[in-house]
């Protein structure tokens, strides 16, 4: 690879890092062709982009980026695949689901919701991250809860009052 090609790859990676808020780094080495193909299909269905990257080029792209990746460049050793998604927990859910059939992919680290997660032991924490839509739904349900209580109290009071009036009119 020539210097110009490397420079172009670094620029492309820097642009990709700037455009997304969720980046997972995983090791998928050792998977056979069929399993790798299944992983790529699962990524496509989940809306996750999977690409194999060179560690040095990704490290330089992280340095050139405006974002603070913390210790994430330190995990760039060995084979590295980059998973990029809109939802912060989508790649974590995908990895966890895929591991039911295979021991890989192994999570090296992740950058999600402006936080850095290092190590495979962080996978459960990443699965539990709520997406923007889930958080909005939770907030809306919390805001609706008091209004629903007031409406149901008013309706039950009206039913009691009509029952009392009906009883009194019958006597």
Each residue's pLDDT tens digit, 82-104 = 888 888 888 888 888 888 887 88
pLDDT digits (tens, 9 = 90+) for 146-162: 767 767 766 666 666 67
pLDDT digits (tens, 9 = 90+) for 10-54: 888 888 888 888 888 888 888 888 888 888 888 898 888 888 888
pLDDT at 158: 61
- Write down the pTM of the prediction: 0.72
Alpha-helical runs (H) found in the chain: 3-19, 33-46, 55-64, 90-98, 123-127, 132-170
For all residues of the chain together, what is the average pLDDT? Answer: 82
pLDDT at 10: 84
Collapsing DSSP to helix, strand or coil, 28 comes out as coil
Which run of H or of E encompasses 100? none
pLDDT at 21: 82
Neighbours of 106 (CB within 10 A): 19
Collapsing DSSP to helix, strand or coil, 119 comes out as coil
- The torsion angle over the Cα atoms of residues 155, 158, 159 and 163, rounded to 10 degrees, is 180
CB 123 within 8 A of CB 33: no
Residue appearing with tokens 């990676």: 13
Backbone angles phi, psi at 82, to 5 degrees: -110, 125
Residues facing 118 on adjacent strands: 109
For residue 70, what are the CA distances in angstroms to 26, 73, 123?
17, 8, 18
Nearest residue to 84 (alpha-carbon basis) of 122, 130, 49, 37: 49
CB 18 within 8 A of CB 62: no
Neighbours of 126 (CB within 10 A): 23
């Amino acid at each position: 690879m020539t210097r110009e090609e490397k420079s172009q790859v670094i620029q492309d990676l820097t642009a990709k890092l700037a455009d997304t808020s969720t980046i997972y780094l995983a090791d998928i080495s050792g998977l056979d062709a069929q399993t790798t193909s299944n992983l790529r299909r699962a990524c496509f269905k989940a809306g996750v982009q999977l690409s194999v990257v060179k560690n040095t080029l990704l490290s330089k792209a992280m340095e050139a980026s405006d974002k603070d990746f913390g210790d994430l460049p330190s995990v760039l050793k060995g084979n590295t695949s980059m998973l990029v998604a809109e939802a912060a927990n989508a790649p974590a859910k995908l990895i966890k689901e895929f591991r039911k059939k295979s021991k890989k992919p192994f999570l090296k680290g992740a950058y999600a919701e402006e936080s850095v997660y290092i190590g495979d032991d962080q996978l459960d924490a990443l699965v539990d991250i709520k997406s923007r839509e889930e958080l909005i739904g939770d907030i809306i349900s919390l805001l609706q809860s008091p209004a629903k209580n007031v409406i149901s109290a008013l309706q039950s009071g009206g039913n009691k009052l009509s029952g009392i009036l009906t009883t009194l009119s019958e006597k």
